[in-house]
A and B are shown apart, each in its own frame.
Chain A
């Protein structure tokens, strides 16, 4: 382990909420007068732990950690957890509200590919401009120029205006510039997901070699756990601007994924009086029960799982009842619906279960909704979004990164066999 190269020291960041209006100027003038002229503190200094203030939001709360030389460091967390804010502060695009960041060496941030690309200028001019915007000296860009063009694979088009480039060529060139940055600390936000599969693999390889061969310190933010796992040695996990976990990338990522599971995988109501439902149906329990056969403790695309439910039938007369189970993507798109047999049930507790096989659903976030129908096909009760769960991407190293297309990802074998050894 090298020396610390970056120390995030009790850093907090506050953003002001609300719309700009006629009152804003008055408020700003008052605040300025109080602070600068009267040297008063704000009457209600917003608290870091204040969750429900409608004027402010704390994007980061007293973050404190160190990054060491040569680390490949991942930052994970849900949307809105403060990851991007943290990167912005480290890369000097934003200032902390309180706290200090100490650091050594040159720092370059790649929060977007192709920052400052001008569509009218040629690839050559843009490489020069973009490289310098990202903090390289002109000489350094020129020294690396051939390497950059070669990496992007667009020699023929280097003197064409970039507005004529395909989007793939554009991001390839942009990424190539960034990948050849000469800095001590490199900050990368979610840019791995560019280009086609081939280029992504190339990027990943380049990223890996940056950390392992050149000893650069690299900070990654990505939602792609697979990529993070393969790139990072260490990681932190942020939630609502707070540091939740810190340590080796594997352990932090596992904690993050399992925590998601605990939060959303089951609901249990011991008492029918307060359980969700109505005069016919009361829900006792719904749960996703994964059938793990490996050491991992989160659902990935290989894992079969059971959807289990139990409910009280509250009707006074026995009723022909049918249960409808719908599995939906986060976007609300239905992947499939399942329908139980029509069964005559009487007042009391009813159990049900349904097995969803592994190697079937694609990775992503899903939820299950239930409908209870009576003998006339009328809905007695609908229990929407009963459980929600995340299926984590699993693939072996030979397969490409990026989300696979399709709602399902069945593992049907595709067989190849060689039938002749002659080229046509």
Chain B
């Protein structure tokens, strides 16, 4: 009789139970959540989902005006527009993934309190949504880039360009990983919400978003490169904008720390996903 049961619910939960099969079965739900995220904001607008494209175009225009006409900061010889766009693209992707993931529990408490589905669907749908948005931005970046490359002959891709998909992947991985860690603790300790908004702003300034890594003084260099986002952004820029090399060691540390953070986040998230609702 006892072995006829198909499932059981109990207090204890094993580590490393990620429920991946269950997640796969819910891919339709994931798809619906992504569609909702992408379209719900643009209901009752004249342009509809075209806003997805218009917004990045306007941002790019803004960048173009500000950075290629007004502001003059060191960009390691790269065209300022492309330099700032690349920084803004990756930073925006990272911070969007992080902030939307960290609100997974708080913003969906009303659903999580009423119905069960694998909770990972929420951060995943957020990250996929932002991937789509960033993707559109990336295409715009490529169009401008090709302009500079072919018509102005101002930039040349280097062999690092093959690593660009990886840089995007690790940006999302890091954002989601950190987001999941914060999400679990933020459900109980709301202080984190304030702290994270503040920290994120600080974090942007220790990441080479609006300046090149080369201007960092030698004595802070190791510390600076410990930031997993630094090799990501630098590799992206190396591939597109200027020649040179990156210390392979930093690529390695970037990848390992991102992976580590992601798996800590994933494990914590899966381990606490249900229990956390008692404390919200």
Interface residues of A (CB under 8 A from B): 3-4, 7, 15-16, 20, 24-25, 28, 88-105, 109, 111-112, 115-116, 118, 120-121, 125, 128-129, 132-135, 137-138, 161
Residues of chain A within 8 A of B117, CB atoms compared? 133, 135
Select from chain A the residue with minimum beta-carbon distance to B33.
A129
In the assembled complex, B111 has its CB within 8 A of some CB on chain A: yes
A20-B188, A25-B189, A129-B32 known; A116 vs B8 contact (CB < 8 Å): no
A7-B5, A132-B28 known; A99 vs B10 contact (CB < 8 Å): yes
The CA-CA distance from A54 to B127 in the complex, in Å, is: 42
Residues of chain B within 8 A of A94, CB atoms compared? 274, 277-278
Residues of chain B within 8 A of A7, CB atoms compared? 5
Residues of chain B within 8 A of A104, CB atoms compared? 4-7
122-176 of chain B: CB within 8 A of chain A: none
Known interface pairs A102-B7, A134-B115; 18 further A-B residue pairs with C-beta atoms within 8 A, sorted by A's residue number: A4-B1, A16-B279, A92-B274, A93-B113, A95-B11, A96-B9, A99-B10, A101-B9, A103-B7, A104-B6, A112-B114, A115-B111, A115-B115, A116-B115, A132-B29, A132-B32, A138-B31, A138-B32
Select from chain B the residue with minimum beta-carbon distance to A7.
B5
Q: Mark B175-199, 1 if CB is under 8 A from A, else 0.
A: 0000000000000111000000000
B43 touches A120 (CB 8 A): yes
Q: Which of A89, A102, A118 sits near B8, CB closer than 8 Å?
A: A102
A161 touches B116 (CB 8 A): no
The CA-CA distance from A125 to B115 in the complex, in Å, is: 19
The CA-CA distance from A133 to B189 in the complex, in Å, is: 28
Could you write out 25 A-B pairs with CB less than 8 Å apart?
A: A3-B4, A4-B1, A16-B279, A24-B188, A24-B189, A88-B113, A89-B9, A91-B115, A94-B274, A94-B277, A95-B9, A98-B11, A103-B7, A111-B115, A129-B32, A129-B33, A132-B26, A132-B32, A133-B29, A133-B111, A135-B117, A137-B28, A138-B28, A138-B31, A161-B44
Q: Mark B1-21, 1 if CB is under 8 A from A, else 0.
A: 110111111110100000000
A128 touches B11 (CB 8 A): no
Q: How many interface residues does chain B have, given as a range?
A: 35 or more
In the assembled complex, B36 has its CB within 8 A of some CB on chain A: yes
Select from chain A the residue with minimum beta-carbon distance to B10.
A100
The CA-CA distance from A116 to B111 in the complex, in Å, is: 6
In the assembled complex, B112 has its CB within 8 A of some CB on chain A: yes
Q: Which of B9, B113, B116 has the most CB of A within 10 A?
A: B9
- Shortest 8 CB-CB distances between A and B: which pairs? A92-B116, A138-B28, A102-B5, A120-B43, A132-B29, A101-B9, A115-B114, A104-B6
In the assembled complex, B40 has its CB within 8 A of some CB on chain A: yes
In the assembled complex, B275 has its CB within 8 A of some CB on chain A: yes
Select from chain A the residue with minimum beta-carbon distance to B112.
A93
The CA-CA distance from A134 to B116 in the complex, in Å, is: 8
The CA-CA distance from A116 to B40 in the complex, in Å, is: 13
The CA-CA distance from A120 to B1 in the complex, in Å, is: 49
Residues of chain A within 8 A of B36, CB atoms compared? 118, 121, 125, 129
Residues of chain B within 8 A of A137, CB atoms compared? 28
B116 touches A93 (CB 8 A): yes
Residues of chain B within 8 A of A20, CB atoms compared? 188-190
B275 touches A95 (CB 8 A): yes
Min CB–CB distance A405 → chain B (angstroms): 29
Select from chain A the residue with minimum beta-carbon distance to B28.
A138
B32 touches A128 (CB 8 A): yes
B10 touches A105 (CB 8 A): no
Residues of chain A within 8 A of B277, CB atoms compared? 93-94
